[in-house]
Amino acid sequence: MFARYLLLGFLVSTTLSVTGLSARSAEITIKGSDTMVILNQKWAQEYMKKHPDVNIQVTGGGSGTGIAALRNNTTDIAAASRLIKPKEIQDFLVNSGIKPIQYKTCLDGVAVFVNASNPLTEISLPTLGKIFRGEITNWKQVGGSDQPIVLYSRESNSGTYAFFKEEVLLEKDFSPRAQTLAGTAALIDAISKDTKGIGYGGIGYSHGVKALKLRRTESDVATAPTQENVEGGIYPLSRSLNFYLNPRSTDPEIEKFVKWVRSAEGQKIVALVGYYPLPGTLPKPVAKTTPAPENKPAPLVEEKPAVTITPAPATSGEMAAYTAPTPPAPAVSQPVAEVKVETPAPILAAVTPTPAPTATASAAPATTSATEALNALTGPVDPNAKQPVLSTSLLNQFRTMIADREKSVMFREEAVAKREESIARRELTVAEREASLAAREEKLAQLTQK
């Protein structure tokens, strides 16, 4: 009897274990970027809800750690917030004779974070590089308050660390004063509590801190890490977040999962976490517009009414063309002449109303000069106004903007010229080396013949 119960228990346990295995038959491992950990976890949770037969394990450790794990066949997917390095590709080729396959999963802008109380709103990449190299050490040197700058950075195996070092520090070393933190979440938490702090990380973590606008050069236009600027590559630190896979993988579930991540369903989770979906996968959000006011019939007017036309109050200064129309002043109780509209008034006359002639003044025909028409568009010229007229101010702004753009183009052309000169020098050096090698081979051939 006891043997029968023992056999029955064994069969039940075996059945449960087999059922459990069938419920989780496919195993997928994702390892790498700490920037992508939260996003990868959300993807895994949602995918496993829809596919109960798949189990997905997510771990961080940094982009370099994930790529190394893929090379050593200890993970199925390497998550990387940077592009794979040539040295890493070479290691793959030496180890297994293959190159990993890259899949872009979404877009990101590496943001520069400061404390919410920091008065700074924008900064250039050259200045940012000086700060993180330790060449600028006080906030007053960049327009802030008089207090030391505290640097927060990521670990060296982080893809964001490598990306920032390449794009901002130009491959030079970080300041030894920079405090290294394990992940972007820890970095954000430190800066949110430190009024002197500055750091960098993925835009999906920008909660409780301020993200600065960035300029490529000192004279360039500052841009924010918005979706539009990142998609167009206008934001200086735009990048993609990637999956790397072994091309020899034969598990169809991995391919299905990656395809789902890049689909509209997977990209909705991208937007939910705070990163930017792949272009074209989701419709752009449409700005809400307020409904137009209902057209109501004009009130009936008695025949031949007495009309009192008062001049519009003079508006001067730079905002003259953008201010809402000021309600007319209350009519002054004085006798006015009756105005009859017999012919359509000129268009320019409708732009700039003229005072109605009084009973004692002689009525002159309604005419409007070009100067008055221009004043109607840019604001009347007030001789007592302390601010300049709008048109002059705008022209100066446009001239300054054009000059800045020309400087930016000039700087970029100089940079291109320097790069071309550097390439030419390298080609010359290669040619000289080849010539030297050929001479050595010729001498070796001669010695061999002797």
Q: Residue 102 to residues 152, 240, 276: CA-CA distances in angstroms?
A: 30, 11, 18
Distance CA(22)–CA(342), nearest Å, equals 91
Q: How confident is the model at residue 435 (pLDDT cuts 50, 70, 90)?
A: confident
Average pLDDT over residues 372-377: 49
Of residues 103, 412, 129, 61, the one with CA closest to residue 254: 103
For domain 20-106+241-273, the CATH class is: alpha beta
Average pLDDT over residues 148-154: 97
Least confident of 172-186, 241-255, 404-418: 404-418
Least confident of 62-71, 177-186, 194-203, 385-394: 385-394
The larger pLDDT score, comparing residue 392 to residue 438, is at 438
Average pLDDT over residues 235-245: 97
Quick check: 432 pLDDT over 90? no
The DSSP annotation for 102-134 comes to: EEEEEEEEEEEEE-TT----EEEHHHHHHHHTT
Residue 348 CB partners (closer than 8 Å, separation 6+): 368, 372, 373, 376
If one counts every other C-beta atom within 10 angstroms of the C-beta of residue 308, the result is 15
Q: How confident is the model at residue 388 (pLDDT cuts 50, 70, 90)?
A: very low
Q: How confident is the model at residue 428 (pLDDT cuts 50, 70, 90)?
A: confident
Average pLDDT over residues 82-94: 94
Distance CA(213)–CA(236), nearest Å, equals 10
Q: Residue 87 to residues 99, 123, 386, 402: CA-CA distances in angstroms?
A: 12, 33, 65, 43
Quick check: 34 pLDDT over 50? yes
Distance CA(159)–CA(240), nearest Å, equals 11
| pLDDT for position 441 | 76
The answer to whether the pTM exceeds 0.85 is no
Of residues 295, 136, 123, the one with CA closest to residue 200: 123
If one counts every other C-beta atom within 10 angstroms of the C-beta of residue 384, the result is 6
Q: What is the mean pLDDT of the chain?
A: 77
Least confident of 24-28, 188-192, 264-268, 293-297: 293-297
Quick check: 24 pLDDT over 60? no
Average pLDDT over residues 106-121: 96
Instruction: Give the bridge partners for 240, in sequence order.
Output: 107
Q: Identify the DSSP state of 73.
A: T
Residue 7's identity, in one-letter code, is L
The larger pLDDT score, comparing residue 329 to residue 319, is at 329
Residue 250's identity, in one-letter code, is T
Average pLDDT over residues 422-447: 75
| pLDDT for position 421 | 72
| pLDDT for position 206 | 83
Quick check: 18 pLDDT over 70? no
**Quick check: helix, strand or coil at residue 442?**
helix
Distance CA(31)–CA(40), nearest Å, equals 9
CATH homologous superfamily, domain 108-240: Periplasmic binding protein-like II (3.40.190.10)
Average pLDDT over residues 222-250: 94
Distance CA(245)–CA(41), nearest Å, equals 18
Angle between helices 63-71 and 86-96 (to 10 degrees): 20
User: Sign of torsion, CA 239 245 247 250?
Assistant: negative
| pLDDT for position 426 | 73
| pLDDT for position 409 | 66
Quick check: 79 pLDDT over 50? yes
For the chain, what percent of residues have pLDDT higher than 90? 54
Q: Residue 331 to residues 65, 175, 310: CA-CA distances in angstroms?
A: 79, 71, 7
Q: Quick one: which H or E segment has residue 395?
A: helix 390-449
Average pLDDT over residues 322-340: 43
Residue-wise pLDDT tens digits, 332-355: 444 444 444 444 444 333 334 444
| pLDDT for position 449 | 73
| pLDDT for position 395 | 61
Q: Is 53 left (phi over 0), alpha (psi -120 to 50) or beta?
A: alpha
For the chain, what percent of residues have pLDDT higher than 70? 66
| pLDDT for position 36 | 95
Beta strands in 115-237 (DSSP E): 122-124, 150-154, 179-181, 197-202, 210-211, 213-215
